[in-house]
Amino acid sequence: MPPQRRGPAMTARPEVTGFFEPRTFSIQYVVADPGTGACAIIDPVLDYDEKSGSTATTEADRLLGYIAEKGYRLEWILDTHPHADHFSAAHYLKGRTGAPTAIGERVVEVQKLWNGLYNRTDLPADGRQWDRLFADGDTFRIGGLDARVMLSPGHTLASITYVIGDAAFVHDTLFMPDSGTARADFPGGSAQVLWHSIQAILALPDQTRIFTGHDYQPGGRAPRWESTVAEQKATNIHMATLTTPEAFIAAREARDRTLPMPKLILHALQVNTNAGRLPEPESNGKRYLKIPLDALPTAVW
């Protein structure tokens, strides 16, 4: 019998394990190739308590513990965008493992935007903090798994989707069907652009598994983070009912006008535009965040 070839009907199926982080309702992922034991981490969280200013590596160490337990080999540390609601653990994980870090190439636009808001002149805004900047359509591999990058802006300027085998990691573009879609009112966001990004995701094959970046547990249900393109098209509370760009944009913008900013946005962006690096210690050995006052004057309190 001739060897079987992988084609459209034989898309590789990575092993995907989600790790829910309840402080920020974030889902972190370990994506593995069962055939080779190679894996990637997507959107890791560095623990941060804004009330005390304390940081910890509990979540990142949980990911490393799982990888060690499974005997996997970490090949990539991937972020989907510069997060506004948690610190990225990419820098810490690179220091622990040596694995390369990556993000979308439009992060340089986010760096320039937020450098201006922070009046920060010392941070390079060319993306050099990551090992690789992905462009739309770029491909890479995780062991024997084919992966490609889709530019998915709208929530942020730099948001990307990782399509790895039959799995798409859509960050904060789509939530679970009972939660709808991401907000688009952050600096650089756009509901119109978000609509087009979602349409591109929903054009993937119906059986494609969709993994989202947050779950806010509507109605108090247990956390969930996996659906399919078919489920999203049929039952997403926004996309199944707001079927024209005009309707979606109007509803999304009306909803966004009622939402306060994430409580960590001004904390997180100065870390995440620097690939998860915390500020350098000052002369007393302490690190300090810089919070601009009245930088977002139209934000809802």
Note the pLDDT tens digit of each residue in 176-193: 999 999 999 999 999 999
Kindly report, residue by residue over 188-241, the tens digit of the pLDDT. Answer: 999 999 999 999 999 999 999 999 999 999 999 999 999 999 999 999 999 999
* CB contact at 8 A, 177 and 210: no
With both helix axes pointing from N to C terminus, report the angle between 58-70 and 90-97 in degrees, rounded to the nearest 10. 40
Kindly report the number of other CB atoms within 10 A of residue 158's CB atom: 27
Over range 25-40, report the average pLDDT.
Answer: 98
CA 139 to chain centroid: 18
Domain ranges of the chain: 15-268
**Percentage of the residues of the chain whose pLDDT score is greater than 70:** 97
Banded pLDDT at 2 (limits 50, 70, 90): very low
Residue 3 has pLDDT above 80, yes or no: no
At 81 the pLDDT is 97
In which band, very low, low, confident or very high, does the pLDDT at 261 lie, cut at 50, 70 and 90? very high
pTM over 0.85: yes
pLDDT tens column, 119-146: 999 999 999 999 999 999 999 999 999 9
pLDDT over 80 at 7, yes or no? no
| Res 1 pLDDT > 50 | no
Give 6's pLDDT tier (boundaries 50, 70, 90).
very low
Average the pLDDT over each of 1-10, 101-110, 232-241 and give the range with the smallest value. Answer: 1-10
Give the position of tokens 């490609």.
Answer: 148
Phi, psi of 125 (to 5 degrees): -115, 45
**Residue 109 CA: distances (Å) to CA of 181, 189, 274:** 23, 12, 13
Residues paired with residue 139 on neighbouring β-strands, in sequence order = 148
pLDDT at residue 297 greater than cutoff 80: yes
| Segment among 32-46, 69-83, 287-301 with least mean pLDDT | 287-301
Percentage of the residues of the chain whose pLDDT score is greater than 90: 95
The CATH label, of 3.60.15.10, 3.30.70.1400, 3.40.50.300, 3.20.20.450, for the domain at 15-268 is 3.60.15.10
The whole-chain average pLDDT of the chain stands at: 95
- Reported as a pLDDT band with limits 50, 70 and 90, residue 11 is confident
- pLDDT score of 10: 52
Max CA distance (Å), the chain: 70
